């Protein structure tokens, strides 16, 4: 049974063979045309180096495979694996196949030698590697999303901080807390700092993915609305409110933003984050006792 987007070793071998033949035929055609044009015009035309062309074509082929398999396996995430994560016997395909042949011309002898090298490429190992990398890709993608949301929503617990127990402000049916930029905590003329805009975008994209998994709606829209306003060059005044009280609301102030979320929505959000978070991240504890919001 095929894994998502992964072809057989024989199919990949056939694809590589077709690339070799195509580069050969096009190179021969180009070289012939260049000679004929030089004879007609008396001018020399740029020479191509088939080995370099082939190297680029093979590397591009493997990168495309990684992209296609990643898209087929990533689910509701944007997680991808890259060629440089593979063993060199796979990742250096362009260098391995094209390097032994250093010729400016792609003649029949070169074609024979390229065919031999292509036949020696470890296709079975390629298939096994693709299956291994794609198997848990969605899980790893959710882990990345959880980590990004925890960090950027200021929910990460740091053991050296002593004020975490008073971080959340609890109301009868809602919970709120503040998020800030990491360095410059000032909004100048209603415009977010670069770090803040990046944070808002990461939160928006992460919460959109979490909505698909939890079924809770309205988590990402406040942040996407803020991002859209800044992308359009609009100014956001202090005290501006985005979202709704029925799910999640973001109120923008001069030096911070306040997130207010219903307990039900927060429970769903926290459940996703706890299940999918990276092992090296802890989440702040939400106390049961109620505190009046200042």
Q: Which residues pair with 263 in a beta bridge?
A: none
Domain boundaries, the chain: 9-135, 143-276
In tens, the pLDDT along 62-115 reads 999 999 999 999 998 999 999 999 999 899 888 777 665 555 566 777 778 888
Task: Report percent pLDDT > 90 for the chain.
Answer: 48
Q: Is the pTM of this model over 0.75?
A: yes
**What's 83's DSSP letter?**
G
E strand or H helix at 134? helix 123-135
CA triple 284-179-218, angle to 5 deg: 90
Q: How confident is the model at residue 4 (pLDDT cuts 50, 70, 90)?
A: confident
Distance CA 192, CA 128 (A): 46
Long-range contact set of residues 157-162: C-beta below 8 Å, sequence gap at least 24:
157/282, 157/283, 157/284, 157/285, 159/282
What would the pLDDT profile of 249-268 be if each residue is shown by its tens digit?
A: 999 887 788 999 999 999 99
261 vs 255: CA distance, rounded Å: 20
For the cut 60, the answer to whether the pLDDT of residue 239 exceeds it is yes
Count CA atoms within 13 Å of residue 132 on its CB side.
10
Convert the pLDDT of each residue in 14-58 to its tens digit: 999 999 888 888 877 877 887 887 788 888 767 777 778 888 888
Q: Looking at residue 186, what is its pLDDT?
A: 45
- Cα–Cα distance between 158 and 156 in angstroms, integer? 6
Instruction: Answer yes or no: are the C-beta atoms of 277 and 147 closer than 8 Å.
Output: yes
Q: Is 197 helix (H, G, I), strand (E, B) or coil?
A: helix
Predicted confidence at residue 112, as pLDDT, reads: 81
């Amino acid at each position: 049974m095929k894994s998502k987007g992964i072809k057989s070793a024989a199919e990949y071998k056939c694809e590589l063979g077709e690339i070799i033949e195509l580069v050969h035929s096009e190179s021969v055609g180009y070289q012939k045309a260049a000679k004929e044009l030089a004879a007609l015009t008396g001018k020399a035309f740029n020479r191509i180096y088939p080995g370099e062309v082939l190297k680029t074509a093979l590397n591009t082929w493997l990168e495309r495979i990684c992209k296609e398999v990643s898209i087929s396996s990533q689910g509701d995430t944007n997680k991808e694996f890259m060629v440089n994560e593979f063993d060199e016997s796979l990742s250096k395909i362009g260098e391995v196949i094209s390097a032994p042949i250093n010729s400016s011309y792609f003649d029949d002898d070169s074609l024979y030698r390229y065919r031999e090298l292509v036949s020696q490429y470890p296709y079975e190992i390629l298939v096994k590697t693709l299956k291994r990398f794609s198997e848990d890709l969605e899980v790893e993608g959710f882990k990345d999303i959880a980590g990004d949301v925890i960090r950027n929503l200021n929910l990460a617990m740091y053991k050296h901080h002593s004020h975490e127990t008073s971080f959340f402000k609890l109301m009868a049916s809602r919970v709120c807390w503040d998020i800030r930029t990491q360095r410059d905590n000032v909004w100048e003329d209603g415009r977010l700092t670069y770090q803040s805009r990046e944070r808002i975008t990461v939160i928006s994209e992460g919460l959109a993915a979490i909505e698909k998994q939890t079924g809770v709606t309205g988590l990402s829209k406040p942040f996407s609305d803020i991002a859209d306003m800044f992308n359009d060059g609009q100014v956001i005044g202090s005290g501006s409110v985005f979202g709704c009280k029925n799910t999640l609301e973001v109120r923008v102030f001069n030096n911070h933003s306040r997130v207010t979320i219903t307990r039900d929505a927060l429970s769903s959000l926290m459940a996703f984050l706890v299940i999918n978070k990276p092992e090296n991240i802890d989440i702040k504890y939400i106390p049961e006792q109620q505190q009046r919001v200042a």
